[in-house]
Each structure stands twice: as structure tokens, then as C-alpha cells.
Amino acid sequence: MNPWTPAGRSCRGWPGRDESITRGDWNVYLNAEGTIINLPPNLRARHLMHECGLYLAGTARGQPVLLGRDAHGRDADVPEHLVRLAEELFGAPLAA
């Protein structure tokens, strides 16, 4: 699969290439060039991923996209346990 679109944007809509990291029943899409294009670190995303057992120093830059995984490995709704954890960590309900 080619991560580039004709407009030079990733399939998620941001400049650069997508990087997908799968962990159990969820995955996160990150901008693989976040450091190169000087996107700001996303401390909340890094903290959430760390609490879920994903230790990736310096990779959460810009806006990540978190999605669930269905039984066939396709993107699905974010698992409820991940939503609850984010709400507990950051003290506010997440928007639907």
C-alpha cells in the first residue's frame, strides 16, 4: 500500500507518511515524519501509549489517530477500555 496520496498528503490527511503501530485490539496512526517537519511532541498521546504498554520515546508528534481493530484486523471503533483509560488519565470525558 502506498501511503502517499497524489496531493502529497498521507491517507490520514496530514503532510508526510503514515506509520501504524498495532497493540492488541487497537492501533495508532502517527505521522512518520513528525520530527523531520518539526511537529510538536504530543505528551498526552505519549503518556496514553506508555500506560498501555507501548514504549516509543519521541514518536508521538502532532495529532495521532487511535482506532480499534476488529476480528479481521480492520479499523474499528476505539475499544472502551482505551477510552476509559484516557478519561481517567486526563480527567475529562472524550468527545464522541
Q: What is the chain's mean pLDDT, rounded?
A: 78
Q: In the 8-state DSSP scheme, what is residue 1? A: -
**What pLDDT is attached to residue 13?**
56
Q: CA neighbours within 13 Å on the CB side: how many for 61?
A: 19
The whole-number average pLDDT for the span 7-31 is 71
Q: pLDDT tens across 49-83, in order? A: 889 888 876 678 888 888 999 999 899 999 999 99
Axis-axis angle for helices 80-90, 43-51 (nearest 10): 120
The CA distance from 32 to 90, in Å, is 25
Q: Are 27 and 21 in contact (CB under 8 A)?
A: yes
Cell of 40: 510538536
| pTM assigned to the model | 0.70
* Pure H helices in the chain: 43-51, 80-90
